């Protein structure tokens, strides 16, 4: 995807701190962290929105993304962690390449803003 910032990161065209990567899933450090540990886990291929991933055809990829996110949450969050997926304008999504935020290292308030 030509104008996708996360596709450019995955292609090595924009620098980022890679935490983990394999053929299907990539994890990077968020450039504007909202917690002591703030990671982003995403599919390597461009999928704009989690709404596009919903459905049995993509169940394996969705499962892999959440498996990596959960493992990183357990590794980085000594006392727990929060996974967040923003979807669409009202969901607060600003980068249209589906990603899971993995936040940890502080107490997470509820409800979110
Ligand atoms: P969202 O608002 O859910 O779409 O989240 C997008 C996230 O991407 C935000 O937390 C940004 O701080 C983060 N972000 C944007 N550009 C970059 C970048 N170049 N490297 C790492 N994280 C980024
Ligand atoms: Zn993309």
Convert the pLDDT of each residue in 26-82 to its tens digit: 999 999 999 999 999 999 999 999 998 877 788 899 999 999 999 999 999 999 999
Give the SS3 label for residue 13: coil
The reported pLDDT for the residue numbered 77 is: 98
Pocket test for ligand 1, best of 32, 89, 97 (most atoms within 8 A of CB): 32
Cβ neighbors of 57 (< 8 A, separation 6 or more) are none
Which atom of ligand 1 sits closest to the CA of residue 99?
A: 3
Identify which of 41, 22, 30, 54 has the alpha carbon closest to the alpha carbon of residue 97: 41
CATH topology of domain 5-104: HIT family, subunit A (3.30.428)
The reported pTM is 0.97
DSSP 45: S
pLDDT, average across residues 7-17: 97
Quote the ligand 2 centre to 78 CA distance (angstroms): 31
Asked if 48 contacts 96 with a C-beta cutoff of 8 angstroms, the reply is yes
What is the rounded CA–CA span in Å between residue 41 and residue 25? 7
Q: Check if 79 is active-site.
A: no
Q: If residue 22 lies in a helix (H) or strand (E), which one and from where to where? A: none
């Amino acid at each position: 995807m030509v104008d996708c910032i996360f596709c450019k990161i995955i292609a090595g065209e924009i620098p980022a701190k890679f935490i983990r990567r394999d053929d299907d899933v990539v994890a990077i450090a968020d450039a504007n962290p909202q917690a002591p540990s703030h990671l982003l886990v995403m599919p390597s291929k461009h999928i704009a929105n989690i709404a596009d991933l919903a459905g049995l055809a993509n169940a394996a990829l969705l499962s892999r993304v959440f498996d990596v996110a959960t493992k990183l949450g357990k590794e980085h969050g000594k006392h727990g962690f929060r996974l967040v997926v923003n979807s669409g304008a009202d969901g607060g999504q600003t980068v249209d390449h589906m990603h899971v935020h993995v936040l940890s290292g502080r107490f997470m308030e509820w409800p979110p803003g």
